[in-house]
């Protein structure tokens, strides 16, 4: 009776609503860009520039999101490459393992 259900899921940057906003923003930007091109062909250049600026306003958030996600993917791939390159060396060399332990101990301030 007095129990309230609290959702355990949190909205993060990796949520479906962010993708929907990005796709919808690009769709609206494409539609407005087409309208701007059509208006420009009819000779109303000032109106075409205004509509193109509006289209850019819809496209920029999606482009910023795209660049951020591509950067995240590149960082993950870089981490994977470093792990794949370093793991065999750490497995084979006791001296390298000792150096890595010293490095991480000094980095975190451990004895």
Q: Among candidates 72, 59, 65, 49, which has minimal Cα distance to 28?
A: 59
pLDDT in tens, 68-94: 888 999 999 999 999 898 888 888 889
Give the model's confidence band at 21: pLDDT under 50 very low, under 70 low, under 90 confident, else very high.
confident
Q: Which residue has the higher pLDDT, 23 or 46?
A: 46
Name the residue with higher pLDDT: 24 or 38: 38
- The secondary structure of residue 62, as a DSSP letter, is H
User: Does the pLDDT at position 5 exceed 60?
Assistant: no
What's the pLDDT band for 38 if we cut at 50, 70, 90? very high
Tokens of 91: 């497995």
Asked if residues 35 and 51 have their Cβ atoms less than 8 Å apart, the reply is yes
Measure the CA–CA gap between 64 and 79, rounded to whole angstroms. Answer: 23
pLDDT for the residue 52: 95
Could you state, in order of their start, the residue ranges of all structural domains in the chain? Answer: 16-108
Residue 55 contacts residue 81 (beta carbons within 8 Å): no
What single string gives the DSSP state of each residue in 22-56? Answer: HHHHHHHHHHHHHHHHHHHHTT-HHHHHHHHHHHH
Instruction: Flag whether the pTM goes above 0.85.
Output: no
SS3 81: helix
Q: Does position 110 have pLDDT exceeding 80, yes or no?
A: no
């Amino acid at each position: 009776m007095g129990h309230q259900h609290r959702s355990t899921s949190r909205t993060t940057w990796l949520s479906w609503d962010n993708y929907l906003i990005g796709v919808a923003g690009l769709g609206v930007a494409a539609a407005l860009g087409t309208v701007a091109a059509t208006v420009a062909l009819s000779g109303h250049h000032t109106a075409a520039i205004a509509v193109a600026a509006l289209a850019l306003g819809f496209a920029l958030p999606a482009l910023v999101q795209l660049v951020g996600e591509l950067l995240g993917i590149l960082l993950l791939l870089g981490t994977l490459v470093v792990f794949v390159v370093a793991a065999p060396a750490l497995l084979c060399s006791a001296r390298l393992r000792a150096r890595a332990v010293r490095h991480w101990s000094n980095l975190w301030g451990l004895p």
